[in-house]
A = this chain, B = another copy of it.
Amino acid sequence: MSKTKEKNVSIKDVAKEASVSITTVSRILNNINYPVSNEARTRVEKAIKNLGYIPNKAAQNLRKNETRTIGLIVRDIGDPYFSEMAKGVTEKAAQLNYMAMVSDSNRNMDYELKYLDLMIRQGVKGIIISGGGIMEEEYQSELQKRVQDARRLGIKVVALSSQGIDLPLVTVDNIQIGKTVCNFFILNNYKKIAFIGGNEKVTTNYERLLGYKIALKEKGMEIDENLIINGQFTWEAGYETCKILFDRKREIDSIFCANDNIAIGVIRFLRENKIKIPNEVSLIGVGDIPIAQYTSPSLTTVKIPFNLIGNRAVELICSDENIEDSSIYFKTQLIVRESIKIPKIS
């Protein structure tokens, strides 16, 4: 087997081999129903096979001034939240004959901006930003710049959570999620409902917490700031943050975890401290990541349709419609599992 790259075989070589013009070859390759004589067609097809001709994407991209690639920016592909989104994206992209370029910012916002730049340079068809927005002026203004660059070049940008700037969204109603969870606790007679959040600068966290507060207010219940604590959207942080919460306050009968990862950390903490779930404390998460069914106890949570969201975002990008002004909200659903006691008997 040869170790070095051979000369690329181009459409030209095929044309020569088949004794036709490159136009004819190109037509056979692309214009499905352009009239070409059977003779020529068979000769060309044979030549293609003989030479092992493979069309050069770079040339096509240049000529057509478009690539069939879409960019996806995630914060941590190892986090089920993002990998499920990525699944929805790559799946639909493949269906539509696109390729997905995935960049993992590792929760570093500078990287996130850098990857945006790279994707714009790559000339992707569109970019999907999948993490919750960061509520920081400088970041948002930098993001805004990129979005403008992208638009100028005809690159669509879609976000899967609100980013605090004007951007089409494919997402869920996070305030509603907060309300739903909190109301469910209240309905079942829980009185001391704690909130363990992720990064407090992230829009999704803010919105879920807001929903929690609204629900409490609507029922005339007091908002106890000692029951509210934020950290990060990870297992480790869920564990640590829960510890801080219980050091601070012990009378807690239920915990609203801003995502399932946090809930997993919380389960671990409670288990180590012999606090029974759901008998002493009930737990609800957000996301319904696949592992939520396999925790002990299994996790009550609000299902976010990651797959549909990823799918739809890709469709939006690959469609020809203008999407700058349209946002799409998917329904969520509370999935009741073992981590909550219903009805609560106090």
Chain A residues with a Cβ under 8 A of chain B = 1-6, 8, 52, 54-59, 61-62, 65, 67, 69, 76-78, 80, 83-84, 86-87, 90-91, 94, 99-104, 106, 111, 115, 118-123, 148-149, 151-154, 235, 264-265, 267-268, 271, 290-291, 293-296, 322, 324
Return the chain B residue nearest A63 by Cβ. Answer: B58
| Inter-chain contacts of A86 with B (CB < 8 A) | 77, 83, 102, 104
Interface contact A294-B235, CB-CB below 8 Å: yes
In the bound assembly, the distance between CA atoms of A121 and B61 in angstroms comes to 12
Q: Supply 15 further A-B pairs (C-beta < 8 A) apart from A8-B65, A59-B62.
A: A3-B324, A54-B149, A58-B58, A58-B123, A69-B101, A77-B86, A90-B102, A91-B106, A99-B103, A99-B118, A99-B119, A101-B101, A102-B102, A235-B294, A268-B294
Taking A101-B69, A122-B57 as contacts, is the C-beta distance between A94 and B115 under 8 angstroms? yes
Within the complex, what minimum Cβ distance (angstroms) separates A117 from chain B?
A: 9
Q: Report the copy number of this chain in the oligomer.
A: 2
In the bound assembly, the distance between CA atoms of A2 and B322 in angstroms comes to 11
Within the complex, what minimum Cβ distance (angstroms) separates A286 from chain B?
A: 17
- Could you pull out 8 A-B pairs where Cβ atoms are within 8 angstroms? A8-B153, A52-B152, A78-B87, A83-B86, A90-B104, A99-B103, A99-B119, A268-B294
Return the chain B residue nearest A119 by Cβ. Answer: B99
| Inter-chain contacts of A65 with B (CB < 8 A) | 8, 58
Return the chain B residue nearest A271 by Cβ. Answer: B296
Interface contact B118-A91, CB-CB below 8 Å: no
| Inter-chain contacts of A154 with B (CB < 8 A) | 4-5
Taking A3-B324, A61-B58, A294-B268 as contacts, is the C-beta distance between A94 and B101 under 8 angstroms? no
In the bound assembly, the distance between CA atoms of A65 and B62 in angstroms comes to 13
Interface contact A290-B235, CB-CB below 8 Å: yes
Interface contact A78-B83, CB-CB below 8 Å: yes
In the bound assembly, the distance between CA atoms of A296 and B344 in angstroms comes to 25
Within the complex, what minimum Cβ distance (angstroms) separates A78 from chain B?
A: 5
In the bound assembly, the distance between CA atoms of A132 and B317 in angstroms comes to 33
Interface contact A121-B55, CB-CB below 8 Å: yes
| Inter-chain contacts of A55 with B (CB < 8 A) | 121
Interface contact B324-A1, CB-CB below 8 Å: yes
From B4, B115, B152, B267, A296 is in contact (CB under 8 Å) with B267
Within the complex, what minimum Cβ distance (angstroms) separates A344 from chain B?
A: 23
Interface contact B100-A103, CB-CB below 8 Å: yes
Within the complex, what minimum Cβ distance (angstroms) separates A154 from chain B?
A: 3
In the bound assembly, the distance between CA atoms of A55 and B123 in angstroms comes to 9
Interface contact A294-B264, CB-CB below 8 Å: yes
In the bound assembly, the distance between CA atoms of A80 and B57 in angstroms comes to 32
Interface contact A90-B103, CB-CB below 8 Å: yes
Within the complex, what minimum Cβ distance (angstroms) separates A257 from chain B?
A: 13
For the complex of A and B, 6 pairs with smallest distance between CB atoms: A5-B154, A58-B61, A58-B62, A83-B83, A296-B296, A102-B102
Interface contact B324-A54, CB-CB below 8 Å: no
Interface contact A58-B67, CB-CB below 8 Å: yes
Interface contact A54-B90, CB-CB below 8 Å: no
Taking A78-B87, A78-B290, A235-B290 as contacts, is the C-beta distance between A100 and B99 under 8 angstroms? no
Within the complex, what minimum Cβ distance (angstroms) separates A74 from chain B?
A: 9
In the bound assembly, the distance between CA atoms of A57 and B121 in angstroms comes to 6
